Amino acid sequence: MTKISHRLFISVMAVIVISVTIMLIYYGTSYYNTSMEERFYHTDHKLLKPSGPWGHGFGIVGSLFMFIGVSSYMIRKRVRAFARWGLLKHWLEFHIFLCTLGPILVLFHTAFKFGGIVSISFWSMVAVFLSGVIGRFIYIQIPRSIEGRELSLSEVRDLKSDISDIIKNNYSLSQESVSIITKSTQKKAEVISGNIFSRTFRKYFVDRRNVRNVKKKLKQNKLSRKESNQILKLVNNEISLNRRIERLTTMQNLFKYWHVAHLPFALIMLIIMIIHVAVTLTFGYRWIF
C-alpha cells in the first residue's frame, strides 16, 4: 500500500465513522430525547426501539463489526499462515475502525436504555473502547518498523543520524550555528531527572525552546526557506527519537499492563453479548428474517 493509498484508506474509514454517527444522531434525536414513558407513542418507536427493524439491526451489525474487528486482528497477529496478508499496522487500523463503529451502533441499538445483565456487557464495551484509546496512544509511542514490528532499543538508536555531519556537508552554515543545532538535539542531564511525567513536561518546553533558537540561528544565516525547513525537519526528527528512546522501556511496560486490563473487559463483553443473543433468539426475535 503506497503512502497516498494508505492516507485514502484512513480517510475513508474516518469519513464512514463520522458520517454514520451524524446520520444516527440526525434521524434519531427526536426519539432518543423523548422520555422512556412517552417513547411508545413516538412515530419512530417501532423502527428505533431495540427490537425494531432499525434498532435491532444496529445491534446485529455493531456486534458483527466488533467480532470481525477483534477476530481478524487476532488471527493476523497470532497465526503465522497469515503473516504475509498485509502489514500488521494496517490490520490494527482496520481493527480500530470496526471497533469504533461497532460500539457506536450498539449504543444506538440500546436506545440509551441500560439495565439488567446486558448493562454489564455495555459498560464492559465502554471500558474496552476507552482502554483501546489509551492503548493506541501507548502503541504509537513505541517505535516500530514499517511492518508494525516493535523495534528494540539498539534498533531505535541506529535510526539516529549524525546531524552535525549532514549539516556541514550539505548546508553553508557557520561552525557556531552547527554547534547550536547539534546541541539542540542532544539530551541534557538536568532535564532527565525526576519521574516520567515531570521529565516529559519539562523536556517538551526545553525542546520547543531549542527549536525556536535553531529557527533564529537559521534566519541569521539567511538560508532559503526550503533549506531551513529541511534542517528543522532533521532537528525535529532527532528530538522525537530522543523522546522515544527515553520513554521506550516505560511504554513497553505500560503496554504489557494495558493488555492485562484490556483483555478481561473484552472477554466479559463477548460472553455476555453471546448470552444476550441466545436469549433474544430464544424469545423469538429474528430481526427481518
Sequential DSSP letters for 11-80: HHHHHHHHHHHHHHHHHHHHHHTS-TTTGGGSTTHHHHSTTSHHHHHHHHHHHHHHHHHHHHHHHHHH-G
Q: Is the pLDDT of residue 267 over 50?
A: yes
φ, ψ for residue 144 (rounded to 5)? -140, 160
Which residue intervals of 79-152 are DSSP H helices? 88-109, 116-141
Q: Both 158 and 199 in a single domain?
A: yes
Q: Both 137 and 273 in a single domain?
A: yes
Give the pLDDT of residue 61: 92
Residue 43 lies in a domain: yes
Q: Both 40 and 132 in a single domain?
A: yes
Q: Is the pLDDT of residue 15 over 60?
A: yes
The answer to whether the CB of 129 falls within 8 A of the CB of 99 is: yes
Residue 289 lies in a domain: no
Residue 17 lies in a domain: yes
Q: Both 138 and 256 in a single domain?
A: yes
Confidence band, pLDDT 50/70/90 cuts, at residue 239: confident
104 vs 284, residue with greater confidence:
104
Range of the domain at 206: 153-246
Furthest CA-CA distance within the chain? 81
Share of the chain above pLDDT 70, in %: 84
C-alpha cell at 78: 497470532
Q: Both 147 and 158 in a single domain?
A: no
111 vs 281, residue with greater confidence:
111
State whether residue 150 is helix, strand or coil: strand
Residue 205 lies in a domain: yes
Q: Both 66 and 169 in a single domain?
A: no
C-alpha cell at 1: 500500500
118 vs 81, residue with greater confidence:
81
Q: Both 144 and 38 in a single domain?
A: yes
Q: Both 127 and 231 in a single domain?
A: no
Q: Both 190 and 262 in a single domain?
A: no
Q: At CB < 8 A and 24+ separation, what contacts does 53-57 make?
A: 53/287, 53/288, 55/108, 55/109, 55/111, 56/109, 56/285, 56/287, 57/287, 57/288
Q: Both 164 and 199 in a single domain?
A: yes
Give the pLDDT of residue 189: 45
- Looking at the structure of the chain, the number of domains it has is 2
Residue 196 lies in a domain: yes
Residue 132 lies in a domain: yes
Residue 74 lies in a domain: yes
C-alpha cell at 202: 519539562
Closest CA to 188 of 215, 207, 216: 207
Q: Both 25 and 125 in a single domain?
A: yes
Instruction: Please tell me the distance from the alpha carbon of residue 159 to that of residue 248, in angstroms, as a whole number.
Output: 14
Q: Is the pLDDT of residue 190 over 50?
A: no
Query: For 214-235, what is each residue's pLDDT tens digit?
Result: 888 777 777 778 888 888 888 8
Give the pLDDT of residue 149: 57
Q: Both 242 and 270 in a single domain?
A: no
Residue 38 lies in a domain: yes
pTM above 0.75, yes or no: no
Residue in the structure block whose three cell numbers are 463520522: 18
